[in-house]
Every structure is written in structure tokens, then in C-alpha cells.
Amino acid sequence: MRRRPSGTDASPVGESLAAAAAIALIAGGLWLGERPSVPASPEIARDRAPFVERALFCPPAFDAFAGDTALAVQPLDAAPGAVAVEPGGGVETGRKASGLAVTSLPGESPVDVVGYGAPVSATAVAQSEKGSAAAPCATEAARRWYFADGSSALGWDERIVISNPFPDEAVARVVFFTPSGAEAKANLADIPVSAGEAVAVKVNDFILREPVLAASVDTLRGRVVAWKATLKEPNQGVSGAAVTLGAPKPARHWYLPAGAAGKGARDRISILNPSEEEAIVNVTLHTASEAIQSPDLTEVSVPASSAMTVPLEGAPTKEDGGAGVIVESIGGAGVVVEHAAAFDSGAITGYLSEGGLPAVSTAWSLPPAALHPRADDVVVLNPGPGSTFFDIALVATDGTVTAPARLSEIELEAGARLSVSVARWTEGKSVGVELTSTRPTAVERVAYSPAGEDMSSTTGLPLP
């Protein structure tokens, strides 16, 4: 990584996380050396319609965490407008100068975030002594949702939250997937979800201990939104919390900017093939200096109607700063992909899980991944065949929009991935991020919260 020559001050990448012990795990501030292998041109996000006067669908408060769930709402442009959180009243953001709005979720019912006159993005952020977690609100409701990562093993408490944002009752079913195949339960075949309400399915109540467990939510009537809330509380080992928005459909490419956290973390990639056709996938790691295609991660078979995990802690990399991951289905069916990591370095501990991005963009909105982060990183993956320059701007709750020179015109070469600390500017507060780049990228925000001593992450939302 290096900034475009401009006669300004030197690159700050990794500077602020140097003060945090977590940098060795999730950042690195690394400089590019040899040119990495150039991947194929990625798919670009095509749904760029603004969210003006259109709802985002957000989850209810996650009662499993026994803590607070807040909603971070970030305006996406300078047009005047207001934001309503329904039900629960309004959160006036006004012009972009009004900045990031953070409010507690009003109760056990799901909420809609509606931008009037200006588009917005929104993320639910949960925090308690059990952990910290974040997940984006959905831009659409769908008839199907998929979760590639999961477990019903001892010490795991996993819940699938099914939300119905519409005025008519929906009916859904949940199907599980293991390495042995699909497993449907009769008492999960006909789940009523009342209008404007949500239902939480406690996974461990319905299936035996399975260390590798994916899931799908299908509707028999109506459309819904689904999240997965996880508490990892083993008798021994790493504990923490995670919330993941499901994927509405399989895809042939998945981008995971923070897919391999590096030294001190146990990483895995989870892959779900919900179709009746075998899928063949390649898993490529992208560091700050190279793209790595291990023979063990080439042409991996994912049988029909099954789930699998790919451990990454033994994957070859030249840096301890971690790597991005691209999963490509090169034959057969499309797949669904998530990544998860358990951190236990002595400096920090925690657990995170996040779904991949099926497309890339040149502009992203990234609300906070934690309410009061000690470490706060923006992770950028450039999957394309050419170098890109990117800029990071910070949106505060008091309306201040900051574009530090040290976060401007940062160069990222083809096939490379970089973690940039913004903790120096966020200073432990809830601050939104906007990232723009000259070529399409994939982005993720990763944070460490002292409250609950946990890691959390959230993917970006493409800007209109």
C-alpha cells in the first residue's frame, strides 16, 4: 500500500492501531512489495438505486445478548431529509451535516428505517457483557435467506431471527445443512410470522449437536428478512457474540475483506451449497503484497445440499496482518459463504462472524461495527486487475464530516488487501465511514470493544 504521490505527509496506515494490541490480529499497516497475481474482473454491484423514501428493514433488539441493541443510521448524501424509525418514533438526521444518528432499538419488534428526501444506511449494534456484534439492516425482503456458518455444538447458542415487515402474516420454514446433507424438521416446516413481528428459532432446541451447521429460511407465504444471532460461551476457549444478515441467494463470487485475520486467530470459511448440483470452488487469499492460491484450496468439492468449513489458520501467508479471501464457484452451482474467527492472543479475545459480499462497488457506507471501539479498522480488498486509489471520510454524530489527508489517495494494487486503522479519528466513539475508490473494491469494518471483550464486524453498503 502507498498513497499517490502528492507532496503531502506520509502514509498513516496502521498508525492508530499501533496503540492497540489488536493491530497484530486485524491490521498490519502493510506496504505492497511484489505485484500479486491478477484475478479476473469482479462483478460490480448493479442495484445503485437510491434509498430515498424507501425502507430499510432492521432487526428487533437481540434479547439473547441480555444487553443493549442500538441502531446506527447514516445519511448517504447531502440532500435534505428526515429519517423515521417505525415503530418507535422519528430520528431526525436532517441534512448530512446532522451526521450519524445512534438510538436504542425501541423494543422486541423489528423496525423500519425510512429516509424521506435522502437515502440512508443503517446497522444494528448489540453490546453487553457477553459480547459485541453488528449487522446491517436489509435493503430488501425476500422469499429465501441462507446462512453458511453455524453450529449447535456444546457452548453455542444460535438463534435465527425471522422478521416480517409487511401487514400480512408470513409463513416460513427452516432447513438445516450439514456435511452429510439437508435436514428438515417437521416442527420447523410451518412457522407463522405475524405482520410487523419477528420470531426467533432457537437452533439447539431442534437439532442434535452439529459442529458444522448451515441453514436456510424459505417462505411458503409472503417475504421476510432473516438474521442469525450467535452466542459462543464454551466452558473453555474463546467466547463472544455475532449477528449476521442472511444472503438472499447463492452467488458465484464472494468477497471477504477480513476473511483471514492472521496470527493469533483461528479462522474458517464456511460454504453452503443449497442446490441439488455439486459445486466446485476455488479459495484465494489476498494479502497486502500477494494473492495466494494454495493447492489445498483449489477445486474444492462442495456436494449438493450440504455445508462445509475450510480452516484457514494453516493457510500460507507471508504476513501476520491477515488476508482477504475470495471464494469463486468455478463449476456447477452457486454457493453461499461466511467467515468466522476466534481471537485469543492474550492482547484481545473475542469471536466474530460475517457474511461475504457478492459484488464490489466504488462507493461504500460503513456504519459503526461497535459503539465504543478500542480498535477500529476499515478493511479494503481490491479484486480487480488494476490498482485503485481510495479515500475514507468520517461522519460523526455532531454532524462533522472529516476527510483526513492521511486517509486520502491511498493506493491499493491489483489483487491486494489492506486494513486501515481509523481509531485515531473515531477515538472510541460511534462514527460512520464513507469510502470511495477509483476502481471497484469490497470493504468490511472490524472493531474490538472493551465492553464484553469481543470483536465485531460489518460489511459495507454500496452507495447510490
Contact between residue 282 and residue 327 where contact means Cβ atoms under 8 Å apart: yes
User: What pLDDT does 77 receive?
Assistant: 67
Confidence check: pLDDT of 35 > 50: no
For residues 425 and 232, what is the distance between their CA atoms, to the nearest angstrom? 31
Q: What is the dihedral of CA 241, 263, 271, 246, to 10 degrees?
A: 30
Query: Which of the two residues, 35 and 403, has the higher pLDDT score?
Result: 403
Helix (H, G, I), strand (E, B) or coil at 380: strand
User: What pLDDT does 319 receive?
Assistant: 56
User: What pLDDT does 310 receive?
Assistant: 94
| Highest mean pLDDT, choosing among 22-31, 56-65, 82-91 | 56-65
Confidence check: pLDDT of 12 > 60: no
Would you report the helix, strand and coil content of the chain in percent, each value rounded to 5? 5, 50, 45
Which stretch of 7-16, 144-153, 451-460 has the lowest confidence by average pLDDT?
7-16
Residue 426's H or E segment, with its range, is: helix 423-426
User: What pLDDT does 68 receive?
Assistant: 78
User: What pLDDT does 328 receive?
Assistant: 97
Instruction: Give the CA diameter of the chain.
Output: 67
Distance set, CA 462 to CA 43, 76, 148, 359 (Å):
13, 10, 22, 9
Mean pLDDT, rounded, for 235-264: 88
Q: Which residues contact 82 (CB under 8 A, 6 or more apart)?
A: 90, 92, 93, 94, 115, 116, 117
User: What pLDDT does 85 receive?
Assistant: 79
User: What pLDDT does 314 receive?
Assistant: 63
Confidence band of 418 (pLDDT split at 50, 70, 90): very high
Mean pLDDT, rounded, for 405-422: 96
Q: pLDDT tens, 88-135?
A: 555 554 433 356 888 877 667 888 888 777 778 899 998 888 888 999
User: DSSP code of 360?
Assistant: B
User: What pLDDT does 290 receive?
Assistant: 84
For residues 166 and 164, what is the distance between their CA atoms, to the nearest angstrom? 6
User: What pLDDT does 74 receive?
Assistant: 86
Confidence check: pLDDT of 247 > 90: yes
Confidence check: pLDDT of 38 > 70: no
Confidence check: pLDDT of 456 > 70: yes
Write out the three cell numbers for 108. 422486541
Write the burial class of residue 269 (CB in 10 Å: 0-12 exposed, 13-18 middle, 19+ buried). buried
| Number of alpha carbons in the 13 Å side-chain half-sphere of residue 12 | 20
For residues 45 and 72, what is the distance between their CA atoms, to the nearest angstrom? 23
Sign of CA dihedral 204, 208, 210, 214: negative
User: What pLDDT does 90 receive?
Assistant: 53
For residues 119 and 268, what is the distance between their CA atoms, to the nearest angstrom? 35
Confidence check: pLDDT of 170 > 70: yes
User: What pLDDT does 23 receive?
Assistant: 36
Domain limits, the chain: 53-462
Confidence band of 17 (pLDDT split at 50, 70, 90): very low
Confidence check: pLDDT of 451 > 90: no
Name 175's bridge partners: 184, 216
Q: pLDDT tens, 300-323?
A: 999 999 999 999 876 655 556 689
Sign of CA dihedral 105, 111, 117, 120: positive
Instruction: Give the percent of the chain with pLDDT over 70.
Output: 81
Q: pLDDT tens, 179-217?
A: 999 999 999 999 999 999 999 999 999 998 999 999 999
Nearest to 335 by CA among 372, 376, 306: 306
Write out the three cell numbers for 156. 453455542
Nearest to 281 by CA among 312, 249, 254: 254
Confidence band of 87 (pLDDT split at 50, 70, 90): confident
For residues 363 and 440, what is the distance between their CA atoms, to the nearest angstrom? 8
Q: pLDDT tens, 358-411?
A: 999 999 999 999 989 999 999 999 999 999 999 999 998 887 889 999 999 999
Name 353's bridge partners: 340
Q: Which residues contact 141 (CB under 8 A, 6 or more apart)?
A: 57, 165, 166, 223, 224, 225
Which stretch of 55-69, 81-95, 200-214, 450-464 has the lowest confidence by average pLDDT?
81-95
Average model confidence (pLDDT) across the chain: 83
For residues 321 and 371, what is the distance between their CA atoms, to the nearest angstrom? 24
Nearest to 449 by CA among 379, 362, 361, 349: 349
User: What pLDDT does 31 receive?
Assistant: 29
User: What pLDDT does 65 receive?
Assistant: 64
Contact between residue 72 and residue 430 where contact means Cβ atoms under 8 Å apart: yes
For residues 143 and 442, what is the distance between their CA atoms, to the nearest angstrom? 26
Instruction: Give the percent of the chain with pLDDT over 90.
Output: 56
Contact between residue 227 and residue 158 where contact means Cβ atoms under 8 Å apart: no
User: What pLDDT does 114 receive?
Assistant: 83
User: What pLDDT does 43 receive?
Assistant: 61
Determine the length of the chain.
464
